[in-house]
Amino acid sequence: MRRPGYGALLGLGLLTLGACAPTVATMGPPVTTPRIEADPQIDDRIIAADGAELPLTVWKPAETPRAVILAVHGFNDYANAFEDAAKDWAEAGIITYAYDQRGFGRAPDRGLWVGTETLVSDLETATRLIHAQHPGLPLYVLGESMGGAEVIVAAAEHRLPGASGTILVAPAVRGRETLNVFARAGLWFFAHTVPWLAGQPGGQPLFLPSDNIPMLRKYSRDPLVIKDTRIDTFYGLVGLMDDALAAAPYDDMPSLILIGARDDLIPGGPSKLLLTRLPPVPPGDRRVAVYAKGYHMLLRDLDAQLAIHDVAFWVLNPHAPQRLPSGDEKVPGEVTREAGGPAPRHG
More confident residue, 134 or 265: 134
pTM of the entire structure? 0.89
What whole-number distance in Å separates Cα of residue 304 and Cα of residue 306?
Answer: 5
Topology, domain 41-337: Rossmann fold (3.40.50)
Give the chain's mean pLDDT: 88
What whole-number distance in Å separates Cα of residue 150 and Cα of residue 68?
Answer: 19
pLDDT confidence bin for 5, thresholds 50/70/90: very low
Handedness of CA 183, 187, 189, 194 (dihedral sign): positive
| Residue pair 102/122 in contact by the 8 Å Cβ criterion | yes
Mean pLDDT value of segment 37-59: 90
Q: Tell me how far CA of residue 30 lies from CA of 33, 51, 100, 112, 131, in angstroms.
A: 8, 8, 20, 21, 21
Per-position DSSP letters for 243-302, written without gaps between them: HHHHHGGG--S-EEEEEETT-SSS-HHHHHHHHHHSPP--TTSEEEEEETT--S-TTTST
| Residue pair 330/279 in contact by the 8 Å Cβ criterion | no
More confident residue, 40 or 287: 287
pLDDT confidence bin for 313, thresholds 50/70/90: very high
The residues, ordered by sequence, that sit 6+ positions from 5 with a Cβ below 8 Å of its Cβ are none
What pLDDT, in 10s, does the model give residues 150-173?
Answer: 999 999 999 999 999 999 999 999
- Look at residues 111, 76, 73, 101 and name the one whose alpha carbon lies nearest to residue 198: 111
User: Would you say residue 19 has pLDDT above 70?
Assistant: no
- How do the domains of the chain map onto residue ranges? 41-337
